[in-house]
Structures are given as C-alpha cells and as structure tokens.
Amino acid sequence: MGVVNVTPDSFSDGGETPDAEAAIARGRAMLAAGADIIDVGGESTRPGAASLDPAEEQSRIVPVIRALAADGAVVSADTRHAAVMAAAVAAGARIVNDVSALSAEPGSLAQAAQSGAHVILMHMKGDPRTMQDDPRYDDVVAEVAAYLAERIEACVRAGIPRAKIAVDPGIGFGKTVTHNVALIANLGRLKELGCPVVLGVSRKSFIGKLSRNEPPQERLAGSLAAALAGIARGADIVRVHDVAETRQALAVWRAVLEGGRGS
C-alpha cells in the first residue's frame, strides 16, 4: 500500500488544482513501482496535529481518489469522517482506512457498512493531539488485540462482513518505541483475530529512535527492515512511502528465503 498525502504544502506547478495533480502523479508512480493499493489521505495524523474540517479533507482527497480509481487502482481513503467515507466510496475508493477504527463519529460504522467498502481498523490510544503524552499499557499486545477484537465485533454487528475487515496495530499512535517493537515482534497475536493484518512503519519516529535520530527522509533503510520483519511475522499489507524500494527488498528477501529453488 503506497501512501499519498494530499496537503496544501505539496509542490504546486500552477495548474488549476495543483495539489491534486501532484498527488495523482505520485499515486500513478507508486502503481508503476508495484503498489497494489494507494492510500489517499488529506488530514495530518502526526503527533500534535490539529484536526481538519471534513469538508476541506473531502475536497482534497475526492479528486485524487476519482482519478486513481478511474485508472483501475484499488484505492483506500484515509479518513475518520463518515461523510468523507461516503464521498470517497462514491468516487471509487474500495477501502476505508480509519485510524480511529470507525469510532470517531457515531455514523461511521453504519456508513462503512452501507458503502460496501472493505475497512481497516487501526488501534490508537487517545487522539493525535495527545497520543504521545506518556502512553502506558500493562500489556500492549494484549490490549491492542482486545481493542481490535471489540472493533471487529462492532463492525460485524453493524453489518460489515468479517471478510471485509482488516486490522492494524497502529504503530506510533500512542506508543513508545518499546510498545512499537513489542507489537511488531508479536504480530502473530493479531493474526489470531482471523483478519488480514496491515502494518504502517514507514519513516515513523521509532525508527530514528532505534538508530541515530535520523529525520523522516533518512529512515528508508530502517523502514525496509521493519517492513520485512513485520511481513516475517505475518503482516499481509504494509503501508509505505517508498514503494519501489519496498518491492525490491521484498523480492530479494522472498527469493533467498525460498532457498533459490528456481536455480
């Protein structure tokens, strides 16, 4: 899954909708590089980020979703708002990726159910504004698994088929480095929920903290290592900024794990 953020700070080439045009081009490049899914988001969920008006979020992401879906891409919409989910699916999104696991708005479960979309349920402790303020758990893996199990049941009660649900431990969302490492190392415990597991580690701050505090654009090597470790533990989908590099790492890692039986 390739990440496309549609934000006003993305470079402008002076076109009529420069942010959308640039985002569509990045999505197309990721598809050419081997992405199976493009995740389109308009709101920053970085630690400390303020929330965005849903109408503004919708106007950013819908044109990008429409263009990439028209190309035949499988598109996921990264949103916590029911109204944006409806517009995104109408524009061709087939997956709703909600970092609040469809809990942020009372209408989200019903909206996702009636849209027919697949859903990604992510664990987050607190909200993006406060989540990194000293997060604590007795047993992070057990607590994340129990939360996701509860959200799966809420989805099923709302009419979302189990076969359309994936889960995600929410790396970096209300977690310390120790919590993040424990979740990746024990991803097998989330597999027991019976749904595909999505993992987002790309360029996140725990990579810098495990290394030399590199800034996000210098975290590719650690991102690849974490993605492969997650895949080794059962991740079915990895959410990444660097699609070509992740494809290369995965191709080589798979070939050597298989022992070169093709030679």
Q: Which residues are catalytic?
A: 204, 239
Quick one: 80 or 189, whose CB is closer to ligand 8Y4? Answer: 80
Quick one: 21 or 168, whose CB is closer to ligand 8Y4? Answer: 168
Q: Which of 18, 34, 135, 216 binds ligand 8Y4 (CB under 6 A)?
A: 216
CB of 75 to ligand 8Y4, least distance (A): 14
Distance CA 124, CA 263 (A): 45
Length of the chain, in residues: 263
Quick one: 170 or 258, whose CB is closer to ligand 8Y4? Answer: 170
Q: Which of 204, 226, 240, 249 binds ligand 8Y4 (CB under 6 A)?
A: 204
Per DSSP (E only), the strands in the chain are 2-5, 37-41, 74-78, 95-98, 118-122, 165-168, 198-200, 237-239
CB of 28 to ligand 8Y4, least distance (A): 20
Question: Hey, which residues does 238 pair with through a beta bridge?
Answer: 199
Binding mask 160-199 for ligand 8Y4 (x = CB under 6 A): --------x-xx--------------------------x-
CA 187 to chain centroid, in Å, comes to 16
Q: Which are the contacts of 146, defined by CB distance < 8 A and separation ≥ 6? A: none
What are the respective helix, strand and coil percentages of the chain, to the nearest 5?
45, 15, 40
Which spans of this chain sit near ligand 8Y4 (rule: CB under 6 A)? Answer: 41, 45-46, 78, 97, 99, 120, 122, 168, 170-171, 198, 200, 203-205, 216, 239
